[in-house]
């Protein structure tokens, strides 16, 4: 081997050795951030890159303990220089810190490759950023009142103030951890303008009605607004406008936190059902005014119960089914409705009852009373329809409308009777109809038999092609629920009802008896309300499950439960 050939061989080996030694360094997963330190609520970018071929994407789960992941994108490139091929795969992950302090970006793994941890210093918002958020864009969360009783309405208000152009954005819903609560959206977003500290803002406002289901003290999570802020770059100097000068930056805001104090039901409350309201009214009207009663003739009484700060499903029945001396009562199904406004929910229950008098004379209807808790005054109140006394007229006797014949008066002159006047010919009393009735009867029987055979063949042919797999589970749960109701076991019956509701509404299952009642028709809603009342009475009210068991065992519940879809997802404030 000549000296030149030996030198070339040595150079080749040295190059290969260097390549092999350096390859792991380039192939290893590398991580870096675009800036350090960063301010709280300020977005930054985590950059991951590798020179090796990998499959899959990074596992970002470890980041979610201290950071919010706003988005990511991936790019790859291949370069060939002097016959050497090099590739690069790069991920850019947009992040924001959940809290300040010395945080650590944990090791990230991609297809077996793991990056090194990064120490990140997260400080409070800079003066410039804080001034911008307070001056151009900020978020407020409020609740009124903040000290309430169980099941009392709380109006939660969310306001976004902005003096910048928002390209798109989304806003989270108010949540109170560990508090079992019903929440109702109060109408659509309101948009208006206002002034704060001498500056004009556009405002988007949302309101919710919240009904806490247990007592205690609860703090909300901060609401989060994610949006793209559109910025106009400066003109390039020789064009009257710059069509390519718009840029956007991501902005994440957190609202303040509100705390609610929820008090238990007062020990001195004597009502059968807990009704914390701002105002409650009972009114009535009759189908005849003034109401006039006659034995055997019905007259309808309409009782309307209206409560401010309660849903219709929370209102009790005003037709208790008790017998009234001198009357038969026939109550109709109650009509339930909720009116929503900025100030909250007004629930309304309308009950019609038909009264049929059974005897004449003076009859007294007892008063109708509904006990409720005046949340503003902090005391028990009673809404009353006073007792009323009516005079019932006797019913008409058969033939009472006919004019009685007058007895002949001996002193009156007797009219002469013309016996020679012709009388009408009598109608034959028994005339044979011939064979036509028998022929008609035979044709009717044949037609009826034909209809029966057609219906029977059609019912066999129209068997369902498929069976809902939930039917067996629903039937099993209904059997168990009926057994628990028969035992008057209120706690176990509630648990079975929640299981039934998860199958009935799988997309958006209700989590409380009150929520199930709001999706049910009045007959089922009334039975659920009775069970809920007994559970919250701490054993002071004896619950009988016969009515609820009857609804489920008879199959009436299939028509009593409305097949509504889940609650509509919260739409973004500014759709892209």
DSSP string for 215-279: -EEEEPPPPEEEEEEEEEPPP-SSSSS-TT-EEEEEEEEE----EEEEEPPPTT---SS--EESE
Which of the pair, 309 or 569, is modelled with greater confidence? Answer: 309
Looking at residue 8, its pLDDT comes to 56
Dump pLDDT digits (tens) for 61-82.
898 888 888 778 888 887 777 7
Across 227-231, 288-292, 498-502, least confident range:
288-292
| Closest to 233 in 3D by CA, of 168, 165, 176 | 165
Dump pLDDT digits (tens) for 362-392.
988 889 999 999 998 999 999 999 998 888 9
Neighbour-count burial of 203, counting CB atoms closer than 10 A to its CB (0-12 exposed, 13-18 middle, 19+ buried):
middle
Task: Provide the percentage of residues in the chain whose pLDDT is more than 90.
Answer: 22
Q: Determine the average pLDDT of the residues in 92-102.
A: 85
With a cut of 70, say whether residue 116 has pLDDT above it: yes
Question: What is the band of 254 on the pLDDT scale with cuts at 50, 70, 90?
Answer: confident
Q: What 3-state class would DSSP assign to 16?
A: helix
Q: Determine the average pLDDT of the residues in 498-522.
A: 83
Looking at residue 307, its pLDDT comes to 95
Question: What is the band of 9 on the pLDDT scale with cuts at 50, 70, 90?
Answer: low
Q: Determine the average pLDDT of the residues in 487-497.
A: 86
Question: What is the band of 10 on the pLDDT scale with cuts at 50, 70, 90?
Answer: low
Looking at residue 413, its pLDDT comes to 40
DSSP secondary structure letter of residue 324: B
Which of the pair, 250 or 360, is modelled with greater confidence? Answer: 360
Task: Provide the percentage of residues in the chain whose pLDDT is more than 70.
Answer: 73
Q: Pull the structure tokens for residue 80.
A: 């060939």
Which of the pair, 504 or 17, is modelled with greater confidence? Answer: 504
Looking at residue 563, its pLDDT comes to 47
- Of 12-16, 149-153, 484-488, highest mean pLDDT: 149-153
Looking at residue 143, its pLDDT comes to 93
Q: Which residues does 324 contact at the CB level (< 8 Å), separation at least 6?
A: 355, 363, 365, 366
Across 226-240, 296-310, 323-337, least confident range:
226-240
For 261, list phi and psi in degrees, rounded to 5: -110, 115
Dump pLDDT digits (tens) for 263-278.
999 999 999 899 999 9
With a cut of 60, say whether residue 151 has pLDDT above it: yes
CA torsion, ordered 111, 113, 117, 118, to nearest 10 deg: -80
Are residues 358 and 365 in contact, defined by beta-carbon separation less than 8 angstroms?
no
What CA–CA distance (Å, rounded) separates 157 from 154?
10
What CA–CA distance (Å, rounded) separates 113 from 55?
11
What CA–CA distance (Å, rounded) separates 228 from 239?
26
Question: What is the band of 409 on the pLDDT scale with cuts at 50, 70, 90?
Answer: very low
Q: Determine the average pLDDT of the residues in 457-471.
A: 52
| Closest to 210 in 3D by CA, of 274, 305, 146, 139 | 146
Looking at residue 265, its pLDDT comes to 94
Q: Determine the average pLDDT of the residues in 404-415.
A: 40
With a cut of 80, say whether residue 20 has pLDDT above it: no
Question: What is the band of 315 on the pLDDT scale with cuts at 50, 70, 90?
Answer: very high
Q: Determine the average pLDDT of the residues in 294-301.
A: 89
| Closest to 162 in 3D by CA, of 128, 130, 125, 204 | 204
Q: What 3-state class would DSSP assign to 532?
A: helix
DSSP secondary structure letter of residue 459: H
Dump pLDDT digits (tens) for 536-574.
766 666 788 888 888 887 766 655 565 444 433 344 444
CA angle 287, 290, 293 (to 5 degrees): 75
- Report the chain's mean pLDDT, rounded to a whole number: 77
Are residues 147 and 134 in contact, defined by beta-carbon separation less than 8 angstroms?
no
Question: What is the band of 437 on the pLDDT scale with cuts at 50, 70, 90?
Answer: low
How many CB atoms are closer than 10 A to CB 557? 21
> Tokens 């003739």 label which residue?
297
With a cut of 60, say whether residue 431 has pLDDT above it: no
Q: Pull the structure tokens for residue 38.
A: 């960063």
With a cut of 90, say whether residue 511 has pLDDT above it: no
Q: Pull the structure tokens for residue 169.
A: 């954005």
With a cut of 60, say whether residue 525 has pLDDT above it: yes
With a cut of 60, say whether residue 414 has pLDDT above it: no
| Closest to 191 in 3D by CA, of 570, 568, 574, 569 | 574
How many CB atoms are closer than 10 A to CB 234? 7
Residue 381: which H helix or E strand, with range?
Answer: strand 379-385
* pTM of this structure: 0.52
For 7, list phi and psi in degrees, rounded to 5: -65, -40
Looking at residue 403, its pLDDT comes to 42
With a cut of 50, say whether residue 523 has pLDDT above it: yes
Dump pLDDT digits (tens) for 25-56.
344 788 998 878 877 766 788 999 888 777 78
Q: Determine the average pLDDT of the residues in 418-446.
A: 53
With a cut of 60, say whether residue 165 has pLDDT above it: yes
With a cut of 50, say whether residue 575 has pLDDT above it: no
DSSP secondary structure letter of residue 183: E
Q: Determine the average pLDDT of the residues in 427-446.
A: 59
């Amino acid at each position: 081997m000549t000296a030149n050939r030996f030198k070339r061989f040595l150079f080749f080996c040295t190059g290969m050795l260097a390549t092999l030694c350096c390859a792991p360094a380039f192939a290893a997963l590398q991580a870096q951030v675009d800036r350090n330190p960063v301010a709280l609520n300020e977005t930054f970018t985590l950059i991951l890159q590798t020179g090796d071929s990998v499959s899959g994407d990074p596992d970002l789960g470890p980041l979610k303990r201290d950071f919010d992941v706003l988005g990511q994108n991936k790019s790859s490139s291949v370069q060939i220089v002097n016959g050497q091929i090099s590739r690069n795969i790069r991920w850019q992950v947009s992040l924001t810190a959940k809290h300040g302090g010395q945080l650590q970006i944990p090791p990230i793994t991609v297809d077996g490759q793991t990056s090194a941890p990064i120490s990140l210093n997260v400080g409070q918002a800079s003066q410039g950023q804080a001034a911008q958020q307070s001056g151009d864009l900020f978020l407020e969360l409020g609740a009124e009142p903040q000290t309430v009783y169980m099941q009392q309405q709380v109006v939660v208000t969310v306001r976004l103030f902005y003096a910048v152009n928002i390209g798109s954005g989304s806003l989270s819903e108010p949540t109170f951890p560990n508090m079992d609560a019903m929440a109702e959206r109060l109408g659509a977003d309101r948009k208006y303008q206002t002034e704060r500290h001498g500056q004009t803002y556009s405002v988007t406002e949302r309101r919710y009605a919240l009904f806490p289901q247990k007592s205690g003290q609860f703090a909300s999570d901060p609401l989060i607004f994610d949006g793209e802020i559109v910025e106009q770059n400066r003109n390039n100097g020789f064009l009257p406008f710059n069509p390519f000068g718009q840029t956007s930056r991501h902005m994440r805001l957190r609202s303040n936190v509100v705390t609610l104090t929820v008090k238990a039901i007062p020990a001195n409350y004597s009502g059968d059902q807990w009704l914390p309201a701002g105002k409650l009214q009972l009114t009535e009207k009759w189908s005849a005014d003034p109401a006039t009663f006659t034995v055997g003739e019905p007259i309808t009484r309409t009782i309307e119960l209206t409560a401010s700060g309660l849903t219709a499903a929370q209102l009790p029945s005003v037709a208790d089914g008790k017998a009234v001396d001198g009357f038969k009562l026939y109550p109709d199904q109650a009509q339930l409705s909720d009116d929503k406004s900025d100030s909250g929910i007004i629930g309304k229950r309308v009950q019609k009852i038909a009264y049929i008098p059974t005897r004449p004379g003076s009859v007294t209807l007892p008063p109708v009373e509904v006990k409720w808790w005046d949340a503003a005054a902090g005391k028990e109140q009673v809404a009353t329809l006073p007792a009323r006394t009516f005079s019932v007229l006797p019913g008409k006797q058969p033939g009472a409308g006919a004019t009685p014949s007058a007895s002949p008066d001996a002193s009156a002159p007797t009219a002469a009777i013309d016996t020679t006047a012709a009388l009408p010919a009598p109608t034959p009393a028994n005339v044979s109809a011939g064979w036509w009735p028998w022929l008609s009867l035979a044709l009717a029987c044949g037609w009826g038999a034909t209809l029966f055979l057609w219906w029977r063949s059609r019912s066999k042919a129209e068997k369902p092609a498929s069976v809902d797999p939930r039917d067996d589970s629903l039937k099993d749960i209904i059997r168990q629920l009926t057994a628990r109701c028969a035992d008057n076991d209120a706690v176990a019956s509630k648990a079975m009802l929640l299981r039934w509701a998860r199958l009935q509404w799988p997309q958006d299952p209700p989590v409380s008896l009150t929520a199930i009642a709001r999706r049910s028709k009045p007959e089922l809603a009334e039975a659920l309300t009775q069970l809920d009342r007994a559970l919250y009475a701490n054993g002071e009210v004896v619950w009988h499950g016969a009515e609820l068991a009857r609804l489920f065992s008879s199959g009436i519940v299939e028509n009593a439960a409305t097949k509504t879809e889940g609650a509509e997802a919260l739409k973004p404030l500014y759709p892209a």
